[in-house]
């Protein structure tokens, strides 16, 4: 084999591997890959039971034809989750003014269900004006937490101040229980548009 042939093969093979592992140069990061995969595959989410801030129980997937927006939080979060709470508050207000209001639920799900008792959840709701109707704050059972985060592809790591850092985003689950879109937490307008597209 001469050098030219060998080099060509290496370049082709190398490019192919890089193309393949980056989904055609579209996703260089894990978060990018997660969003791309969700939009392509639309995986069905586990239908776990959540305890809402009022103590009621609700299922993650709702059978009455709602589209569900899920955001992961922990209420003792000093920064990001509070900012995200502000965005969801705006999203709630936008939805209230539109015809889709009967068909959309927003759930902030705590991934710290041991510390986030019902009081903490209600306090977080009060701070951000979650009305409990369109938008509620909820926590999963401890035993469901791991599989829930895995299904969504959310990675939670402890930070240096006793809190957590996580890939925060708005996860939109369609009427068939499939995770269909992942949007930046601050993309309120994008979320409204996506919801209106999903609910003609």
Partner 1 sequence: MIDNKIKLLLASLIFTFCIFSRGAFEKFPLTHILVQLPLLICVGYLLVDEKLLRLGEWNKGGYATLLIAIFTIAFWMLPRSIDAALSSNNMEVLKFITVPLLIGLPLKIGWAQAHPILKGFLKAQAISMLGVAAFIYIHAPIRICVSYLENAQQDLGYGFLYTAIALAVLWSAPLFLSRETKNFHLQLFFPTNS
Q: Which is nearer to partner 1, 40 or 197 (CB)?
A: 40
Q: How far is the CB of 84 from partner 1 (least distance, A)?
A: 14
Q: How far is the CB of 72 from partner 1 (least distance, A)?
A: 13
Determine the Cα–Cα distance for residues 182 and 82; give it in Å rounded to an integer.
19
Q: Which residues bind partner 1 (CB under 8 A)?
A: 1-3, 5-7, 10-11, 13-15, 17-18, 21-22, 27-33, 155, 157, 159-160, 165, 167
Q: Which is nearer to partner 1, 19 or 126 (CB)?
A: 19
Q: How far is the CB of 1 from partner 1 (least distance, A)?
A: 5
Q: How far is the CB of 20 from partner 1 (least distance, A)?
A: 10
Q: Which is nearer to partner 1, 27 or 118 (CB)?
A: 27
Determine the Cα–Cα distance for residues 179 and 42; give it in Å rounded to an integer.
5
| Gyration radius of the chain's alpha carbons | 20
Sequence-separated contacts (24+) of 82-85 with Cβ below 8 Å: 82/127, 82/128, 83/185, 83/186, 84/168, 84/185, 84/186, 85/124, 85/127, 85/128
Determine the Cα–Cα distance for residues 53 and 148; give it in Å rounded to an integer.
19
Q: Which is nearer to partner 1, 125 or 183 (CB)?
A: 183
């Amino acid at each position: 084999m001469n050098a030219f042939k060998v080099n060509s093969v290496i370049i082709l093979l190398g490019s192919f591997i890089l193309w393949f592992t980056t989904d055609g140069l579209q996703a260089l990061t894990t978060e990018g890959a997660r969003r791309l995969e969700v939009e392509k595959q639309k995986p069905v989410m586990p239908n776990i039971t959540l305890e809402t801030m009022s103590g009621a129980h609700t299922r993650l997937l709702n059978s009455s034809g709602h589209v569900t927006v899920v955001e992961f939080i922990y209420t003792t979060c000093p920064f990001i989750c509070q900012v995200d709470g502000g965005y969801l508050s705006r999203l709630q207000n936008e939805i209230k003014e539109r015809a889709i209001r009967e068909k959309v639920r927003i759930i902030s799900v705590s991934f710290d269900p041991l510390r986030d008792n019902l009081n903490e959840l209600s306090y977080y709701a009060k701070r951000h004006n979650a009305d409990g109707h369109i938008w509620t704050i909820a926590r999963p059972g401890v035993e469901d937490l791991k599989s829930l985060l895995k299904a969504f592809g959310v990675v939670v790591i402890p930070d240096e101040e006793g809190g957590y850092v996580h890939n925060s985003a708005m996860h939109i689950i369609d009427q068939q229980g499939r995770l269909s879109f992942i949007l930046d937490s601050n993309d309120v307008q994008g979320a409204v548009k996506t919801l209106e597209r999903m609910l003609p």
